[in-house]
C-alpha cells in the first residue's frame, strides 16, 4: 500500500510541475494530476476489494504518455 501511495503522490507532483512549466500538453498534465483523486474514488466505489486496482488509471496514463512521446506529434507535446 505504501508504494502505491508514493506512486500516486509522485504522479500528482509531476502533473502540477508539468502544468506550471508547460512541459507536456495540458491534457496529459491534467491526467497526471487527476490520477490520485480518481484512484481514491475508484478504490471506494468501483474496486473496493482490490487495493492496487486504483493504479489502472496511472497505467493508462503512462501508456498515453509513452504514445505521445513515441509518435512525437506536435499537438501532443507542449510548444515551448
Each residue's pLDDT tens digit, 4-25? 778 888 888 988 998 998 888 8
Whether the pTM exceeds 0.85: the reply is: no
Is 48's pLDDT higher than 70? no
pLDDT value for 1: 62
Task: Name the nearest CA neighbour of 18 among 68, 60, 53.
Answer: 68
Is 80's pLDDT higher than 80? no
The three three-digit cell numbers of residue 43, written as one number = 478504490
Q: Is the separation of the CB atoms in 12 and 35 below 8 Å?
A: yes
- Runs of H (alpha helix) within the chain: 2-21, 26-44, 56-71
- For the chain, which residues make up each domain, given as ranges? 2-71
Amino acid at each position: 500500500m505504501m508504494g502505491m501511495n508514493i506512486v500516486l503522490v509522485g504522479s500528482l507532483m509531476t502533473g502540477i510541475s508539468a502544468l506550471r512549466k508547460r512541459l507536456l500538453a495540458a491534457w496529459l498534465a491534467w491526467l497526471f494530476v487527476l490520477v490520485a483523486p480518481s484512484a481514491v474514488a475508484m478504490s471506494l466505489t468501483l474496486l473496493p476489494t482490490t487495493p492496487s486496482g486504483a493504479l489502472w488509471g496511472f497505467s493508462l496514463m503512462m501508456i498515453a504518455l509513452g504514445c505521445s512521446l513515441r509518435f512525437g506529434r506536435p499537438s501532443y507535446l507542449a510548444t515551448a
